[in-house]
Each structure stands twice: as C-alpha cells, then as structure tokens.
Amino acid sequence: MQTGGYAVGWITLAFINAGIAQGKNRSGLNWGLLSLLLGPIATFALVVLFDKLPRAFG
C-alpha cells in the first residue's frame, strides 16, 4: 500500500484551500494549516459556509 500518494494529495489540498482562502480575503496560512488537519472538511467550510470578506483598506 502506498501512503505517499495520500500525503501528496493532502498537502496539495492544503495549498488549494490556502488559495481559496486568499481569494476570499482570509488568511491563506491559517487555512492551509487547518487544512492539513481537516482536509476536505476545511474545503467544504471555505466553499459553502464562508462568504468573501470585504477588502481591508491600507
């Protein structure tokens, strides 16, 4: 059984979630780290539950 493929997929998902979070004006680092723990659950939360934040000025 190859577990390396699962690790690569999980890490790739964390990068994707970080990009989605940044697109919604949220912390990509925080969501990327959270995704390492929660994986697809974090993706669901970002896509379905959280709206885009207003852009901060300055």
* Residue in this structure with the two tokens 């974090």, named with its chain if needed: 42
| pTM over 0.95, yes/no | no
User: How far is C-alpha 55 from the chain's CA centre?
Assistant: 19
Cβ contacts of 6 within 8 Å, gap of 6 or more: none
Q: Residue 27 carries which DSSP code?
A: -
**pLDDT band at residue 58 under the 50/70/90 scheme:** low
* Residue in this structure with the two tokens 């919604």, named with its chain if needed: 24
Q: What's the mean pLDDT when you consider all of the chain?
A: 89
pLDDT of residue 15: 96
Break the chain down into helix, strand, coil percent, rounded to 5.
70, 0, 30
Mean pLDDT in residue range 49-54: 86
pLDDT of residue 32: 93
